[in-house]
Structures are given as C-alpha cells and as structure tokens.
Structure 1
C-alpha cells in the first residue's frame, strides 16, 4: 500500500512544486460568498487558505453576507428589497447587515484560530487582522430608487493592508465601509474584492462562488457538450459581456465575469471564478495546471502571443529537431516568413519554447492547425494545451466549425483532447491536393 502511495504522491508533489515556487510572496485576494459559509464550507476553505499562506502567499480575504442578511430580515419580518440585483439598504437592513458582518467575522476568526492536533490547522497559527480599510460613499438614487445605506467603495487603505500583509498576517475585510463623517454603508463583496485587488495590484483575484465557472457557451444549458471554459482571454471576456444579458443575480454568467474583467483591466494579472461546492477548489485552481474553474487573463501579460517577423529565427530553431526526426514536415525560412501572421508562439525570457500555426479554409468552415511544437525542455508543462486552446479560439473567432491536424507520431495526444480520426478524403479540396500519401499522416478533426 505504501509503495502505491509513494508512486502517486511523489509525482504529484513534484508537479505542484513549480507553482509553489512561482506564487511565493505573491498577493491573492479571495472573495468568499456568504452562500459558501451558509453551505457549511467555511472550515475546509479556512484550512486551504492557511495551507496556501504557509507557502508564503499573502492573502486578503473579503467575505460576503447576502444570505445571512436576508435571513436576519426574515426573522424580523422585513421583506428584502433589491433593484437590478443590488440590495436596497434601509435602516432595518443596515442593522441586519451589521449583525451579519459581526457574526461572520467572529466565525471566520474563530476558524483560523483552531489548532487541533491531527487536523490541517495543527500548528498553523494564522494571525488575522481586520479593520477599517475602506472608505465608502452612498450609491445614491438610481432609476428613481433611493438605495439609502447601500454604498460603493470610495477609497482603499492600500498602505494599511500592505503593512498588515508584510507582518505575515491574513487580512480580513467585511463588505462594510464608513464615510468620512462616520456614516455606515453596506457594500458589495464583489466590488470590494475587485477594488482591493486592483489597488493592491494583486497577482490573483479569486471568487469562491455558487457557480462552477463560465461555460464555453454561456447561454446554453450545462452538459458534457458545454464544459467550463478554464481560460478566457480578456478580449473574449469583453465580447461575452456584450452578448450576455445584464446580470441581476449571482447565478447569471456575467455577474462575476464583469468583476474579473474590471480587475484585469486595472492590472490584476489573473482573475478566477471557482465553485465553493467542490472541496479544495482553491488548491485545485492554484496548484493544478488545468485548474477547476474559469480564469480570465490579460493576454498582454501572457507569454503566449502572435508571432512577428522577428520570431522567424526562434521558430526555425524550435522546429528543426522535430523536422530531422520526421515528427514535422520540413518548412524553409521563406515559407515561415510568408506565413508568420498565421503563427502563435510561447516565449519564456526571450526564448521561444512553443509555436503553432492556423491555416483557414473558409469555404469549408474549417482550418488546419500545423507546426504545433513545444520544446523538449518545456514538455509536460501545459504549453501544448495553451497553444491548442488559443488556436481553437482563433478559429471560433473566424466563424469556423472545426480544426484539423495531420500527424504521424502524436495521434493519441490529439485524441485525448477531443479530436477524432477521419479519412484523408475528408480534407478540403485544396489541402487534399497537397496531401503526401507516402507519409500516411493521420487526419484528425475537432468540431466546435
């Protein structure tokens, strides 16, 4: 039994080590919905946050309290009021929000204070600092509706939060703010988390939410044919927000997506939407390559980019070994220079470690993905999947229905990623004329 455990644990631990190194001393802002606490998930989430902090990550935790406030109002016989998905905070709702915030802060601090032996919190000693880090202002009157004590963030005490983080404490922020005159305002957890992440220039913003993420086709029903889109570029996220209806509840696809877009637009490198229903979703998203939810990324910050004429030499050096052993069809410099606009490259520290090209056949609504190559030094790190995903997105943006590849050595890699074999006669007529029957390449197609 121990031998089996070693064979599973050791490779796994080695696979997460690069992420442990990468995220040391980075700052993560975590938005925790009140629904997660109401669902009994707080204990495990706290344990995961303590583990992440133990790996030298600086954490700001912003909690929500939507269901807790609604429950307080129900107990007082007061009907909750909302407009455009935002709570109208009258004096009774303000009292309920203050009670809910105090109770939740107490529960969260108590959870971080547990150090029972034989539990993940043993010897954790997580110090939690909370305080008046937010200055608020009234939301005012919108569409003729007076939101009363509902507010929005006016200012974030960045210096105070950074001092607390430098002291190796976890910073806990409630969605509550005060005006310079001392008036209290009920705030949105999502807005607070986004503003704090943006002003801190955090490395990640992670929302633990009721939804599993954003699906590849957000307006369609969930199912195997409509999985979670694990990585969305900022440009595509903006397009999705134009297509999706205005959100009125957290279950709407655009509700968290628009906050992720705002964070990325203000300098947060990566924003995530994760399901709190999945135990360990924070750990799975941060330390496992494919993650579990949806990540929105500003592609300008990513090493994956469109190739330029200056990349031709690097592409040639990358593909030459694979041309020599017959994995790739030989391409000369002139061909690559001519087609450079069709290429994507992955660059690390000025060195090209991966490339792929897309050749469309618009009349047949398909395109060929060619020259998909990852350096032997970088294989196993997910660069191939990144290139494939970006190529697929480029094809979708062109209005194409599928992509195809020709391969002699890597058929199983493509089969695992949704491609299916077809007869060479399936190829577009123009591509069929160039097909090398002596090479006997397998033709594989992935339909969208």
Structure 2
C-alpha cells in the first residue's frame, strides 16, 4: 500500500483483529521453540476443510513451534478392505490385523502420508500457504512389538509401541523439519505392525518430553451429555473412565492423555477437529476451545515476581479506567510487588490481589483484587480472598479490611461488614482520600473458615 494515500477509518472487524493479535501475542512468545505433537484421524483427510487445518499447522510452524504430526488411516483402511470384500476384525475392542488387512494398512498409510505432504508443500499465491516452504520428513522412528495372543486370540500384525527414536526426531525438529508419523511400527526382524495413532502420539510426546500433546477428536469421540470439562487432572480421568459412559475412542484418548502426563508431557489437549479454527483458539486464546489434561493444576496461586508486573498492570488498568481502583503507576507496583499475589494460568497472570499488613493493629488491607474478564465467574476471586485471608492469619493478624467504591456487595456477600474510617489503622486513616469517599468494610479473620 502507498502510505501517503488516505486510509479508511478502522472497521469493527479490523479492530477485532488487532485486539485478537494482541491477546495472542503472549501465547506466541510462550510457544516459540516448544515441541507439540498433534494427532488426528484419517477422517480429517476426507473432510473438504482439511486444507484449513493444514494452513493452521503451517502457521504454527511459522511461529517457531517444533511439530510432530501423527495421522490415523482408519477410514482409508476400511475402504480398501471393503473393496476386497474383507473387513478389519475387532475382538474385545482390539483390532486383529491379518496379512490381508496389513497390506491395506500399509497402502492406506502411504497414500495418507503423500496427501499430507502435498498439502504442506502447497505455495500458491493469494493462499495462506503463499511463500511458505515446510520441509516434511517421515521414517522408521517407531520400534514396535506384537500385541500377541490374548485369551486365545492371535492379534497377528496388531502391535504396540516399544520404543521411539527420540534422538533422530529431535535432530530433525532442530533443523526446522515437520515430522510426519504414520500409525505403523517396525520390529528389529523387519516386521511391520499396525498401531494405534493415539499410542504412537503418546509415545512420541513422552520420548521427546513434548510441551503439548494435542488430539484432534472426531464427532463420535465426545462425552455424552454436556461434554468434557475444560480442565482435567490425571486422577479425574481415572474416576471418569470408571463412572462415565464414554465412547471407546474417547476413552482411549483420555487414557493416552493421562499416561502422557504421567510420563512427563506438560499438557495434553483434546480438541474437536470439526469446529472451525478450534486448534488456533485452543492454543492462542485465553478461553481455549477444548479440554486440557495435566498432572498438576495448571492454575497456580503464588507470590508475584518482577516479570509479572506487565500482567498485573493489564489486569488493573480497566478497573482503574472505570474508577473501581485508584490508579497505580508501574513504579508503584514495582515497589509493592512483594505484597502482590497472582493466579498463574499456564504462565499468564489471570488474577491478582495485594495484601498490606498493619501488624501493630492486627489488621491487613486487601487491595487490587482483579480477575481477567475471560476467567470471571469461576470462583477465582474467592480463591484469592481465601488464600490471602490464610496468609494474614499465618502472620497473626485478626482482621482484613478493604476500601471500595463500586464492589461493596461482592465483599458483603463474603463476610465483610460495613465500618467507618475510624476502624482503619492509623497510618491508613491518615492517607484516606475523602474526595474518593471509599466505603470501608472489615472482616473478622478469627471466625472465618479455613482455606479448603
């Protein structure tokens, strides 16, 4: 564009785009140089929207993320079996891969690989892939063993992952390659085994110490009823598998996700593939779009650090602009950072509060309580309040007070009672701003319930 030409006023769409990019920026920085393993079924290739998914994968690669793609090939295998008048036999939910079926597996896996490589090589002008060159490599990275004979049933060429060649994978990823892994494994004796894509993806993620393992689920792999919760711990999955009515496919992904976390993978994401842009929303937005599995809670309450100051200021600024909080400069927050505590969500500050003790009067002030708009309504404010109340008790303080102009009801509903400015500690009373005319609320910590 000629920058001297007059430009139209920004439209809502343009403003929304700029806002989205700004909100995505912390995630872009956090993901750069990380290793993600993304698994999807052969159904994805039959969908006319599959090129959109490839464009998203290309974007992730362009953002500096190391990518391992694990694909399934079930519909392609089943089609070839039908053409031969055969079918893939299942016993006790496990596939039986005879010689005939194995030939179809190898053929289907080869065709799927070529189709994916072709789409990742697309570079047409005026397309999302314009000017993009993505080197893709596949190989015999998986050593497998036969499933064997179970309850008298010989599962033939159906196998399990025995080992993943992590050194070769890491070397290729460090060179900027996208690694493509089919649901096949090989034995030292030269045999080929039909594997579960979920097993391959889990094993690859564990071997690489991947930062994320992402399963793109098909429509049938959905929890009946209201759907999966947005966050699950590994122990939650154990209970869910015992109590909930799950499809075999979803159950297998949940087991693989829980096992991956136990083997050191930091995060596992279950995302519905058919939702447009779901992968991007899961990885680059606050709300996400799927279910996150982790071994430990991904939200942590902790003391604030210097590097948290930009996130704290971002939380406080909208409340300051609406007059809910008094304005604080960066220097003010830097000076007081030791008093702040934050709720950390996967490295991002999503809530904060400050605790200022007045030990001579046995009191403490709760200030700067703020929760990011995308995370409100889930008890995070209450969690911060309970946490800081417990900290005050540990310091031998008996009462907690707040000054507020617009959130009195919220504090009253949580046990605070109205008081006059004479209830404030002497030092705080001397600084009271009569023009702001904040209301004073006090809570007796001695009678407050302990933090759960």
TM-score if structure 2 supplies the norm length?
0.69
State the shift of 1:326 in Å: 8.9
Q: Does the alignment pair 1:221 with 2:219?
A: no
Query: Could you say if the C-alpha distance between residues 91 and 384 of structure 1 is closer, same or farther in structure 2, counting changes exceeding 3 Å?
Result: same
1:3 aligned residue? 10
The 1:113/1:235 distance shift into structure 2, 3 A limit, reads same
Q: What is the count of residue pairs matched by the alignment? A: 361
Do the aligned residues in 2 keep the contact of 1:213 with 1:294 (CA within 8 Å)? no
**Compared with structure 1, are the counterparts of its residues 436 and 266 closer, same or farther at alpha carbon in structure 2 (3 Å cutoff)?**
same
Question: Structure 1 residues 346, 18: closer, same or farther in 2, change over 3 A?
Answer: closer
**Native 8 Å contact 1:164 1:171 kept in 2:** yes
- Structure 2 counterpart of 1:187: 195
SS state at 1:105 partner = helix
DSSP 3-state at the match of 1:37: helix
Check conservation: 1:354, 1:372, Cα contact below 8 A: no
Shift of 1:153: 0.4
Separation in 1 of the partners of 2:367 and 2:109? 52
Over 3 Å counting, the alpha-carbon distance change for 1:77 and 1:299 in structure 2 is same
2: CA distance, partners of 1:15 / 1:98 = 43
Q: Does 1:269 align with 2:270?
A: no
Taking the aligned partners of 2:234 and 2:346, their CA distance within structure 1 comes to: 21
Counterpart position of 1:241: 241
SS at match of 2:80: helix
Match of residue 366 from structure 1: none
- Alignment gaps of 5+ in structure 2: 1-7, 304-311, 326-340, 355-365, 387-403, 421-438, 442-452
> Does 1:202 pair with 2:180?
no
What's the offset of the Cα at 1:101? 0.3
Structure with greater Cα Rg: 2
Match of 2:398 in 1: none
| CA distance in 2 between partners of 1:110 and 1:119 (Å) | 15
Q: 1:81 aligns with which of 75, 89, 95?
A: 89
1:56 is matched with 64
Q: 1:142: Cα distance to partner?
A: 1.9
1:112-148, Cα deviation, whole Å (9 max, x unpaired): 1110000001111000011110001001112322111
Distance 1:352 1:117, change over 3 A: closer
Q: Secondary structure at the match of 1:295?
A: strand
CA displacement, residues 224-277 of structure 1 (integer Å, 9 cap, x when unaligned): xxx5522223332332223235x6632x4x232111111111111110111111
For 1:313-352, what aligned pairs fall within 5 Å after superposition?
Answer: 346=344
Alignment pair present for 1:43 and 2:59: no
Residue in structure 1 matching 2:380, options 378, 388, 397: 388
Q: Deviations over 1:290-310 (max 9, x none)?
A: 11111112226x3515x89xx
Give the match for residue 90 of structure 1: 98
Offset of 1:211 from its aligned partner? 3.9
* CA distance in 1: counterparts of 2:84 and 2:345, whole angstroms: 59
Q: 1:87 and 1:437, CA in 2 relative to 1: closer, same or farther beyond 3 A? A: farther
Per-residue deviation at 1:82? 0.9
Q: Which residue of 2 aligns with 1:304?
A: 300
Unpaired stretches in structure 1, ≥5 consecutive residues: 309-317, 328-342, 357-370, 395-406, 415-423, 442-448
Structure 1 Cα separation of the partners of residues 290 and 345 of structure 2 = 25
- Aligned residue for 2:68, secondary structure, equals strand
